[in-house]
Structure 1
């Protein structure tokens, strides 16, 4: 049987797709200190001034000290070397010791938008033609959420692969969100595509609740589990959960039980490193104490386990550069996503050449 994209070599990375909104961080990260990050090969500094959030290239136009070593003021970001002050558009608005500001005293700025407590950045050469994606879960009173940031010494595509193929849960996350390996590996996989969005559904009825699920919800025994993944290129949304076996329909959007909604923003740093911005939102059980922090700890543990696996995978791919990878049934989602990314990059290149 030939699987989707069989024997695909996985050692190469696609071009960094800049003409789309990418996750740069979270609202709660921007307090009184600037943040330095390299996103899609661009060293940027993120900060919050009186008139909102901003992203500038991380250098002063005077002597090139990183602006991320400066201080945030109400009017903007002040360089920590000679005190030049920059506004949110990258224009220098004050040079200490002189009355005039040189006309060319400015640095490049990038559109940065704050929405649903997510910071979205546009790094493309083309103008942004649409607003950043909406993620209303963060503002939904039915859910409590927590989040974090992980840095990977591995390409963003390997993190995408991991999130698009959840069969690994039974082997990598046995003590948290895993479950019976046979059930995970044999679960039917539904794949649907709409434009550049990919949707993958895995249903696992009549299964044992994994430890993290049992911590958050008082299940009576066996459960019906679901995993619904949406791939949007720059980020993924994963809706997972479980309800008492036979208590409802798994295709009912208003099904009961424990709901776990994950936001996964995977932003390349370079072609071989990336940032992983994640949140997990759950619906508290009315008869139990709030377990939001405990669930966050459990989920963070799983992400650390994934990081160890993915970085080891990448190191070995470099050791065995050029060796082919033989695909199996569960690779259908990751392989389809790879094609979507390649097609999006090709469209961008063709548009610039015409």
Structure 2
């Protein structure tokens, strides 16, 4: 018996799925990476269901392309960097930042269809932003959000990236509700759980942003604070969370009790200024791209390292909680959940996201 094997051309292979960004707000900048992540190697990253390669040419320019060569579909993230673009690691096609193939080794004529999708990107304040537009606005209609803290001489900072097996809005919920600190982060930035749950809280909305301000006067400073700053005893603490659809800014800290007004934007004491870029990978997974800036007074480099280590520990704790939360939500299906007083900010943020999606 003779078996006939039919040859299959690569173009005959059907896609298992077509990337769909419609689940997310469009016509806005998302955080794609920290600048330090994109150096001498291409970075493969799926964002909003789309496989993307982010790269820096040898002359320092950042680009972002569909992570697929138009010749034989090898991921371009397996390629090499050159001054004029990204070269595929299979047959050497060279692509520029607009996605156009500008060289095919051994072939003078370049087909007009030799191109891949390109994404608008901008590097600013050590953050790489990527534009996800609608059909009406494929090109940016505004500049990316500024984050001047990264250029402020008063602060040192560092950061990292987490991958979550959970939708991005659960991370929004977590960051907008810092009442959980007393329970989840007992050994780092927590403190007295009762004080956290009963803290004076103000929630304000302006356009697509939500600001949650919480004050905790006469508190015991948590371990991270006392390790980095010479407090004399009890402290007056503040937490200020500002939600934007693409990221959150969280400013927390403390001063010695009864020494400065918590309403004073120029108050001293110990500061933690966090940048939290929350970007969907898929409908059910996310990237959490963060930095933490601080102003340690003594042994600044050594204490800043401690602050970053402690910050990472808190995010480890959050990751366990959020991923377990989502797994349980899927297990119990449509079973209803209740809201309590600490959910006001998170609920407003969810309404903003729904509005931006046109729901």
TM-score higher than 0.5: yes
Aligned residue pairs: how many? 334
Q: Secondary structure at the match of 1:239?
A: strand
* 2:80 alignment counterpart: 71
Task: For 1:82 and 1:100, locate their aligned partners in 2 and report how far apart those are by CA, in whole Å.
Answer: 15
Q: Does 1:16 align with 2:24?
A: yes
Offset of residue 198 of structure 1: 0.5
- Give the whole-Å Cα distance in 1 for the aligned partners of 2:182 and 2:27: 36
1:288 CA drift (Å): 6.2
Q: What residue in structure 2 maps to residue 32 of structure 1? A: 40
Aligned to 1:185: 197
Corresponding residue for residue 337 of structure 2: 325
Taking structure 2 as the reference length, the TM-score comes to 0.91
Alpha-carbon deviations, 1:316-335, whole Å to 9, x = none? 00000000001111111111
| Structure 1 SS opposite 2:296 | coil
Structure 1's consecutive aligned runs of 4 or more residues displaced over 6 angstroms after TM superposition are none
Partner of 1:11: none
Partner of 1:9: none
Contact in 1 for aligned 2:26/2:356 (Cα 8 Å) = no
Q: Secondary structure at the match of 2:357?
A: helix
In structure 1, distance between residues paired with 2:268 and 2:90:
57
CA distance in 2, matches of 1:344, 1:224: 37
Cα distance change, pair 287–147 in 1 and its aligned pair in 2 (3 A): closer
- What is the Cα deviation at residue 28 of structure 1? 0.9
Pairing 1:65-144 to 2, within 5 Å after superposition: 65-125=74-134, 126=137, 127-144=139-156
Secondary structure at the aligned position of 2:181 is classed as helix
Mapping for residues 187-202 of structure 1, pairs under 5 Å? 187-202=199-214
Q: TM-score, normalised by structure 1?
A: 0.92
Alignment of 1:135-154 (within 5 A): 135-154=147-166
2:323 to 311, 320, 327: 311
**The structure with more radius of gyration:** 2
* 1:259 positional shift: 0.7
How far apart are residue 101 of structure 1 and its match? Answer: 1.1
Partners of 2:94 and 2:40 in 1: how far apart?
15
Q: Deviations over 1:278-331 (max 9, x none)?
A: 000001215766411111000001101100110000000000000000111111
State the match for 2:3 in structure 1.
none
Q: 2:71 aligns with which of 59, 62, 65?
A: 62
Within the candidate set 219, 224, 229, 1:207 is matched to 219
Q: Distance in 2 between matches of 1:290 and 1:314?
A: 36
Q: Secondary structure in 2 aligned to 1:230? A: strand
Structure 2 unaligned blocks of 5 or more:
1-21
| Residues 157-204 of structure 1, C-alpha deviations (whole Å, 9 max, x = no match) | 000000000000000000000000100000121000111111000000
Of the structure 1 ranges 218-227 and 127-136, higher mean CA displacement relative to structure 2 is found in: 127-136
Q: Which structure would you say has the larger RCO, counting Cα contacts within 8 Å and 6 or more residues apart? A: 1
Report the CA distance between 1:15 and its aligned residue: 2.6
C-alpha RMSD of matched pairs (Å): 1.2
1:342 to 2:350 alignment: no
Once residues 299 and 232 of structure 2 are traced to their aligned partners in structure 1, the CA distance between those partners, rounded to angstroms, is: 14
Give me the whole-angstrom Cα distance separating, in 1, the residues matched to 2:180 and 2:52: 35
SS at match of 1:291: helix
Contact 1:219 1:244 in 2 (8 A): yes
